[in-house]
Every structure is written in structure tokens, then in C-alpha cells.
């Protein structure tokens, strides 16, 4: 599997903290250099994670040779509102 790094995020809605697109880099497994892939949607990032790739936050040096890596990115399903009658985390298993 491959290593990816998110270094920037765009927000369509200025009234919330939800990011809509991300600047994604891919690490070359032979040289370990980071190559910019460009903008990826949240759906595309989720697909990378679900495929077993590692996606981290971070900052890439101007020459793309060095990465200052942050934390792994994970996907979470949650209810859009804080108050709910049917909390996903409290639902029974099936």
C-alpha cells in the first residue's frame, strides 16, 4: 500500500469546519520523495483509506524531498446534529 499526505484543505462552507477538498501528496516508495497529486475530494480521500493506504496530515518542504508528518487520518460516521433520538454509537449490533 502507498503513503499519502494531506497538506492543505479547502472549505466550501465558511460557517462550519468541514473541509471539502484536500491537497494530497503521494510518496514515491523508491526515492521516498513526495509528489503532489493535486486536489482530491473527501470521497477520494476516504477511498484511499478504505483501500488500505496510509493517509497522514503534514507539511512538505518546497523541494518535495522532506515531509514533516502529522497524524493519521481516519474516517468516522456521525450524526450531523449533536442532539438526536437515535445515536449511532448507542445502536445495537446486528
Q: Where are the domains of the chain?
A: 3-73
d(CA 22, CA 6): 6
The answer, yes or no, to whether residue 54 has pLDDT greater than 90, is yes
Mean pLDDT, residues 28-44 taken together: 94
Q: Is the pTM of this model over 0.85?
A: no
Mean pLDDT, residues 8-19 taken together: 85
Using pLDDT thresholds of 50, 70 and 90, give the confidence band for residue 63: confident
Radius of gyration of the chain (CA): 16
With residue 49 as reference, give the H or E element that holds it: helix 42-50
d(CA 29, CA 64): 14
Amino acid at each position: 500500500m502507498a503513503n499519502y499526505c494531506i497538506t492543505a484543505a479547502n472549505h466550501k462552507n465558511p460557517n462550519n469546519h468541514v473541509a471539502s477538498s484536500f491537497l494530497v501528496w503521494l510518496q514515491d516508495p523508491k526515492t521516498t520523495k513526495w509528489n503532489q497529486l493535486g486536489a482530491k475530494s473527501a470521497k477520494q480521500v476516504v477511498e484511499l483509506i478504505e483501500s488500505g493506504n496510509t493517509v497522514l496530515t503534514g507539511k512538505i518542504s518546497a523541494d518535495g524531498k522532506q515531509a514533516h508528518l502529522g497524524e493519521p487520518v481516519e474516517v468516522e460516521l456521525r450524526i450531523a446534529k449533536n442532539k438526536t433520538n437515535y445515536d449511532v454509537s448507542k445502536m445495537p449490533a446486528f
